[in-house]
């Protein structure tokens, strides 16, 4: 497989976000869904309206999300919408909690854990997708960026339980009693992300991948008690390949001389987070080989 192109802007601004998207040279049309994490109530690191608002408005995009499987302020659509409003997302775009009215199954064609992926019902309504991730650590996955945003993020509440338990149950009430070996969860995220990519490809729906690497906490935006950033911002990256984009994010953390980067590296490896990359590559989702192109 040829090297993927990953476009990089060091400056984190609305202009840079537009610049890396434009570098992809893909014109998305129709109803565009922009998948972001709306951030748990109390979290700090979610992507702010002031940064992403102009970009989303320019594309006439809709913010798309699904409810969480854990207890919190976003495990039902009504309260989730309140959090989205509090965090400023409704100021610049419509917000669609895609599993508010149900879910549907898409097949997982290869892998060893999941038979299917359960995604929010309204995901089918979009003609094109922007996977707009916030790069950071994650208590369970080690790190979160495009692959997590495409698997856990697009999965319905029940689908999240199914991925977290590596196919043991799709009942959120059984989630914490059904956790598998850690590597099985990591690989299940890759399988679900691949299923989403396959579904989009089969339905001629393009997707692009952008990761904003700021507010780099060891905790996820889904954590109401999210810790402060542990290292300096890295920039914004964009690609048509989610594996390459996530690999570039990981490489920047591992190559960083910032003293705090070791905390993020420790969190990622404690949870076997980097293992998602070779497994996703083995499923054909993308390549870890990339060319970094500064814009």
Cβ neighbourhood burial of 134 (10 Å; 0-12, 13-18, 19+): buried
Give me the pLDDT at residue 225, please: 79
Write down the pLDDT at residue 66: 97
Q: What is the pLDDT of residue 224?
A: 75
Confidence tier at 145 by pLDDT (50, 70, 90): very high
Whether 228 contacts 218, CB under 8 Å: no
How many other C-beta atoms can be found within 10 angstroms of the C-beta atom of residue 233?
Answer: 16
**Pairwise CA distance, residues 200 & 216, whole Å:** 30
Q: What is the mean pLDDT of residues 101-118?
A: 97
Query: Domain residues for 77?
Result: 4-294
Whole-number pLDDT of residue 227? 87
Give me the pLDDT at residue 169, please. Answer: 98
Output the average pLDDT for the chain: 96
Mean pLDDT of 250-279: 98
Q: Which residues contact 38 (CB under 8 A, 6 or more apart)?
A: 46, 63, 65, 74, 80, 83, 84, 87, 89, 95
pLDDT confidence band for 191 (50 / 70 / 90): very high
Which pairs from 260-264 meet CB under 8 Å and 24+ separation? 260/216, 260/229, 260/230, 260/231, 260/232, 261/230, 261/231, 263/218, 263/230, 263/231, 264/137, 264/143, 264/216, 264/218, 264/230, 264/231
Q: What are phi and psi of 45, to 5 degrees?
A: -90, -5
Total domains in the fold of the chain? 1
| pLDDT the model gives residue 105 | 98
Q: What is the mean pLDDT of residues 76-96?
A: 96
User: pLDDT tens digits, residue range 36-77?
Assistant: 999 999 888 999 999 999 999 999 999 999 999 877 778 888
54-58, 72-76, 117-121, 167-171: the lowest-pLDDT one: 72-76
User: The domain spanning residue 95 has which CATH number?
Assistant: 3.40.50
pLDDT tens string 210-255:
999 999 999 887 877 788 999 999 999 999 999 999 999 999 999 9
> Range with the lowest mean pLDDT among 26-35, 39-48, 271-280?
39-48
pLDDT of residue 124 exceeding 90, the answer is yes
Output the six-digit token pair for 134.
């916030």
Average pLDDT of the segment spanning 182-187: 98
pTM over 0.85: yes
């Amino acid at each position: 497989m040829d090297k993927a192109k990953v476009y990089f802007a060091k400056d984190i601004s609305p202009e840079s976000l537009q610049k890396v998207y434009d570098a992809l040279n893909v014109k998305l049309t129709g109803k565009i869904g922009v998948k972001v994490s709306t951030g748990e109530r109390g979290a700090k690191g979610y992507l702010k309206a002031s940064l992403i608002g102009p970009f989303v408005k320019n594309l006439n995009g809709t913010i798309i999300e699904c409810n969480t499987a854990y207890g919190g302020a976003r495990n039902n659509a009504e309260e989730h919408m309140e959090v989205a409003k509090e965090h400023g997302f409704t100021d610049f775009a419509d917000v669609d909690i895609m599993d508010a009215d149900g879910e549907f199954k898409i097949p997982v064609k290869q892998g060893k854990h999941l038979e299917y992926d359960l995604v929010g019902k309204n995901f089918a309504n979009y003609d094109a997708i922007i996977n707009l991730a916030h790069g950071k650590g994650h208590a369970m996955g080690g790190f979160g960026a495009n692959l997590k945003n495409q698997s856990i993020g697009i999965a319905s509440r029940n689908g999240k339980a199914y991925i977290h338990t590596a196919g043991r149950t799709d009942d959120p009430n059984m989630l914490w009693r059904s956790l598998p070996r850690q590597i099985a969860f990591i690989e299940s995220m890759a399988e679900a992300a691949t299923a989403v990519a396959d579904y989009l490809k089969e339905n001629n729906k393009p997707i692009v991948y952008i990761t904003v690497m700021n507010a780099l906490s060891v905790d996820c935006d889904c954590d109401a008690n999210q810790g402060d950033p542990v290292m300096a911002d890295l920039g914004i990256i964009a690609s048509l390949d989610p594996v390459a984009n996530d690999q570039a994010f990981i490489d920047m953390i591992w190559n960083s001389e910032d003293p705090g980067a070791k905390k993020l590296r420790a969190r990622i490896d404690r949870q076997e987070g980097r293992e998602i990359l070779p497994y996703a590559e083995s499923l054909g989702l993308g390549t870890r080989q990339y060319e970094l192109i500064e814009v």
